[in-house]
Amino acid sequence: MLATLLGLLLLAPPPDTSWKHAGLRTRMVERQIAARGITSPAVLRAMRSVPRHRFVPGVAPELAYADRPLPIGHDQTISQPYIVARMTALVDPDASDRVLEIGTGSGYQAAVLSTIVDSVYTLEIIPELAATATKRLRRLGYDNVVVRNADGFEGWPSRAPFDAIVVTAAPEEIPPPLLDQLADGGRMIVPVGPTGGTQELTLVTKDDGDIARRTLAPVRFVPFLRPED
């Protein structure tokens, strides 16, 4: 009898800890995001719903929801939750929007956007990250995200124009193709500045074809990679 019970315990699935993860997300939103002035209901809902710990495998859930960036391999990182939330809020996403993301990474930012907008097109230059993110997003049910392994500098002309563009790596200058692919009335958020130094989080808007830029805060992002890098 004892052997039978032990066998059943070994075969049993692990306990459901979804309640624990939901609690970590709620605390993350309250302490790291809402407390710092992010008020968009859609963004707060998205940050509460997307399981961040699933985008940093091998990392303890408590650390996954901590107020810090985390390595995801290939010298890349997943941004801290507040930065993800702030960049999402700054492009003011709408349910009908088509969004371009440059720098898929683990897929977390794309997942957050996908819970708010109609569709997300995301480019990742590192093949291994693109492949892993594609599998992860499909497995988690984010079916309105399309991942492509490509040079983000060129954007995605065949899917343009985009209502919003989110760039998660830092170019020294904003790539002109991204400005061209931003829809009229659209918004782009991008960290701009030197590799290895401090960059400026920059909000770009387009109105009747005119481009306006506004710097918002100093930040540090991984460099914007090109094929020759």
pLDDT digits (tens, 9 = 90+) for 193-227: 998 889 999 999 999 999 999 999 999 999 999 99
Residue 70 burial class via C-beta count within 10 angstroms: exposed 0-12, middle 13-18, buried 19 and up: middle
Name residue 194's amino acid: P
In the structure encoding, which two tokens stand for residue 126, read together? Answer: 């590192």
pLDDT at residue number 20: 81
Q: Which residue has the tokens 């699933």?
A: 54
pLDDT at residue number 19: 66
* Residues marked as catalytic: 79
Query: What mean pLDDT, rounded, does the chain reach?
Result: 92
pLDDT at residue number 229: 67
Task: Domain ranges for the chain, please list them.
Answer: 69-219
**CATH fold of 69-219, please?**
Rossmann fold (3.40.50)
Which positions of the chain have pLDDT values less than 50?
Answer: 1-16
Pick the closest to residue 223 from 154, 97, 126, 146 (CA basis): 126
